[in-house]
Structure 1
Amino acid sequence: MVAVGSAVALSGCSQATVEQWTRWGLPEAASDRAPFIGNLWSGAWIASMIIGVLVWGLIVYAIIKFRRKSHDETPKQTQYHVPMEVLYTLVPFLIIGVLFFFTVQAQNGVLAKTEAENPHQIDVIGQKWSWSFNYREAANPAVGSDAHTVGTIESIPTLYLPLNKPVRFNLQSADVIHSFWVPDFYFKLDVIPGHPNSFDVTPTKPGDFLGKCAELCGTYHAQMVFNVKVLPEAEYNAAIKELAASGQTGDLVAPSFPTTGPKKEG
């Protein structure tokens, strides 16, 4: 009945919507780390549905089996039921243990460093209330210099990424805790003042995406968004060269004490 009802409900939806439902609401994956989180997400939903059906079945069974048959009938009273008490004590621990095991596996997968020798490196600074990006491309012969982009509330920054090439993000905060998130990558990581974080990812889908802050960080948290452009490597190199040619060179650094934005060294 559930399968038939689902098929009828989805028959009036677009193909894109149907595909999203098959991913349990997740967008189409756009990074090499997405399968770890995607599999964990799907597995959790499937496990939850199985547990839910079991619990609903037991509730219906109890309603039918032990329903009151007459006004004079009094249900049998018991002080305790050891097998039942053991069951509802151990089962939650079993569920938690299984979820913990697969969560750790997914975490290890998304946080694993790339085996590539020289990944593209981008330093990300979160500040109230936007993002700044340092492109470390001085050693890249196709670019030849570092470049940066500074975002503001009035000017949404664009993050350029090379398609099918590993990128190492180095995260720092200029003030409070932020969280760097590209939903299509199925991954986010906190940006904590005084505690640099780092992760590697390889974009696997070209196009434009939206990034945002996933941590309630202050007054204009909702405006901490940025655009993401995943381009073939040649186009990525050209975009970074254009930034450098426009004068956006030099290092942006997160200050030692809270402020409202990064500062340019020198």
Structure 2
Amino acid sequence: MPSKRRIRWAAVPVIAAAAAALAGCTPTELHGYLPGFDESGTPATNQTEQLASLWTGSWIVLLIVGVITWGLMLWAMVVYRRRKGQTGLPVQLRYNMPIEIFFTSVPMILVVGLFAFTVRVQNDVEKPWADDEVDVHVTAIAKQWAWDFQYDEATTGGETVYDMGVQAQPAADGSLERDELPTLVLPVDKKVTIDLTSRDVIHSFWIVDFLYKKDMYIGHDNSWSFIPTREGHYEGKCAELCGEYHSAMLFNVEVVSESEHEQYIAGLEAAGQIGDVNEEYNRLQNLPGTDGVEADAETEEGH
């Protein structure tokens, strides 16, 4: 039987090879091919790293458990298979307490452990910024089947500005002009709080690369606090089946510099898009090609 010294020396090249292989992986590969990472290694938000670690860590544990379980099953099938000439039932064993305790306690420990890690990460992600810590406050309003984004008290004069969107309009070949989608503009490295509300049915706010999604209900507003840490373009969508055109309920997210964000807010103010859009909302404003005036006229005709 090999000595412990020899086993240790044999493990050295294995560990070195594994370290070399991992060193050659891209950030995306190291995080289980999840979105939210690029070649720079900077995650999309301050929460993306821990969310990815929870996901990949859970899968590693589960795969290890699976390999052990499958190995024991194969070993039992081979070692205790029926031999040629054998008849009848094998010896039946019952009430092996050590094995029963092991098979009960280990799964419970795994479940409790995975639950504890999940709760820890979720509590960290769900922790809101204090009111005096928030740099940018946005209200994201879901509607069938588009999005409105309202930047609360965002102008230099403390005015609220907004951008109202319409649902995606794919071409006959299925292609889509993403520039025409509702766009949420956020400054990089700033503390952001997004209040999430719905106008009609249950929706779900999901920025894919941010690795987190939250439901939006009537009469129960949610919020999400985070820091965008990498400039760039990101895609968002509704993650809750919300009706006929659910698949067209898409939006863009642009994470830009602070100066670019200020210019965007100034542009909304110059365009006269000032105030709380909830106060004058009309459901028909969501229809492609209609503005507020046409929607109000159609409503009056309907009455």
**TM-score (norm: length of structure 2):** 0.75
CA distance in 2, matches of 1:165, 1:260: 35
Can you list the C-alpha shifts for 1:47-68, whole angstroms capped at 9, x where unaligned? 1111011101111221222122
State the shift of 1:215 in Å: 0.9
Task: Tell me the secondary structure at the aligned position of residue 255 of structure 2.
Answer: strand
Q: State the Cα distance separating 1:84 from its structure 2 match.
A: 2.6
Alignment partners' CA distance in 1, 2:101 and 2:284: 56
Residue of structure 2 in register with 1:236 after alignment? 261
State yes or no: 1:38 paired with 2:59.
no
CA distance in 1, matches of 2:253, 2:134: 22
Mapping for residues 17-36 of structure 1, pairs under 5 Å: 19-27=27-35, 28=37, 29-36=43-50
Kindly tell me: are residues 173 and 190 of structure 1, through their superposed partners in 2, closer, same or farther at Cα, counting changes over 3 Å? same
Shift of 1:184: 1.0
* Count of residue pairs brought into register by the alignment: 249
Residue in structure 1 matched with residue 121 of structure 2 by the alignment? 106
Structure of greater relative contact order (alpha carbons < 8 Å, 6+ residues apart): 1
Greater Cα shift, 144-153 or 204-213: 144-153
What is aligned with 2:295?
A: none
Deviations 1:3-35 (A, max 9, x none): 9xxx9xx9xxxx99x543321121113001112
Greater helix fraction, Structure 1 or Structure 2: 2
CA deviation string 1:210-235 (max 9, x = no partner): 01111111111111110111000000
| CA–CA distance in structure 2, aligned partners of residues 77 and 207 of structure 1 | 64
Partner of 1:187: 212
Amino acid in structure 1 at the alignment position of 2:29: W
Question: Does residue 148 in structure 1 map to residue 148 in structure 2?
Answer: no
1:124 equivalent in alignment to 2:140: yes
53, 75, 90: which one aligns with 1:61: 75
The offset of 1:197, in angstroms, is: 0.7
- Unpaired runs of 5+ residues, structure 2, are 1-13, 38-42, 170-179, 293-303
Q: Is this contact kept in 1: 2:45–2:230, CA < 8 A?
A: yes
Q: What residue number does 2:187 align with?
A: 162
Q: Distance in 2 between matches of 1:32 and 1:216?
A: 28
Opposite residue 23 of structure 1, the aligned amino acid is H
Kindly indicate whether the alpha-carbon contact (under 8 Å) linking 1:175 and 1:260 is maintained by their aligned counterparts in 2: no
Measure the CA separation in 1 of the matches of 2:158 and 2:125.
Answer: 30
Within 5 A, what are the aligned runs for 1:251-266? Answer: 251-253=276-278
Query: Max radius of gyration: which structure?
Result: 2
Distance 1:44 1:72 in 2: 43
> How far apart, in 2, do the equivalents of 1:255 and 1:217 lie?
23
Structure in which a larger fraction of residues adopt strand: 1
- Name 1:135's counterpart in structure 2: 151
- C-alpha change, 1:99 and 1:254, in structure 2 (3 Å) is farther
2:243 is paired with a residue whose SS is: coil
Identity over aligned pairs, percent:
38
AA partner of residue 97 (structure 2): V
Matched, 1:207 2:232: yes
Distance in 2 (alpha carbons) for counterparts of 1:230 and 1:51: 40
Alpha carbons 2:202, 2:216 under 8 Å: kept: yes
Distance 1:161 1:52, change over 3 A: same
Q: 1:121-144 deviations in whole A, cap 9, x for unaligned?
A: 000100000110001134x53x75
Q: What root-mean-square deviation, in Å, do the aligned CA atoms of Structure 1 and Structure 2 show?
A: 2.7
Post-superposition offset of 1:106? 0.6
Residues 209-262 of structure 1: per-residue CA shift (max 9 Å, x gap): 101111111111111110111000000010111112112111112899x95668
- Matches of 1:118 and 1:19 in 2, distance apart? 30
- Contact 2:133 2:191 survives alignment (8 Å): no
Unaligned runs of 5+ in 1: none
State the alpha-carbon separation in 1 of the partners of residues 206 and 61 from structure 2.
26
Report the AA paired with residue 62 of structure 2. S
Q: CA deviation at 1:76?
A: 1.6
